[in-house]
Structure 1
Amino acid sequence: MFCDKNRGHIFALGDQSYQRLQTLGLKPGVSFFIQNVQFTKQKGFGTFNLAGYYPRKYRGKVEPSGWYLLTNLGSLKAAIKAFKCRSGIEASFTDCKTGGYNLESTYATGQRLIALILLVAFAFA
């Protein structure tokens, strides 16, 4: 995932000229899926699929920004599902490292590390 707030990311469709992601009009309640997007002017990179997703306002709350996802998956639904899984995994890694469990500071190896990871897995469940 990347956010286009300050960097001004650009993309091109086929032989068209490059344009900024902002021109796609991603706002709450809008989503799109564009295939075969060239995302960099550098040589040696192929094309990607570009998914844009911004959840609609729910119970008066709106997310601060939407998602632009570069993917090789074939649909918007698949890209969003994969990214949501990735978000959960990253949160779990943060918990294991610095978010409370501090597994790195235990310097555990072998059986002791396996036992600690098993305890963390039970805590997640």
Structure 2
Amino acid sequence: MNKPLLMIAGTYLAVIGLALLLVPAQFGVDAVPDDPSTELVALLRLLGGPFIGIAVLNWSTRSAAPLVVRLVLLANLVGFGVVAANDVVGVATGEARDLARVFVVVHLAFAVAFAVAWARERRTPA
């Protein structure tokens, strides 16, 4: 279960990271003004780097030692859990863009999948 989850999450994060780097204003539809400042575009591009880094970490870890896998699963659980919680609050309060309704489902699904994977992996000897 861990290998496909890490590959899917890695691919998802790579796509998000590349979108932030290559088409930041278009990726930020309904959140970024039609004529964004160069500083805002630079900030969005800056965020793309860590997404790509985590994608590489996920992809590289899919066949790693159990302790390493456990740590990466936990890090993904925390990351996706925080993002999902932010999405839930934004959608519930109406402060998020309309597209957040899609992302809340995706991020909650990743958070739950990583929680299950982490719980199962914790029972595996190191």
Q: TM-score range by the shorter chain?
A: under 0.3
More strand by share: 1
TM-score (norm 1): 0.26
Structure in which a larger fraction of residues adopt helix? 2
Using structure 2 for the length normalisation, give the TM-score.
0.25
Name the larger-Rg structure.
Answer: 1
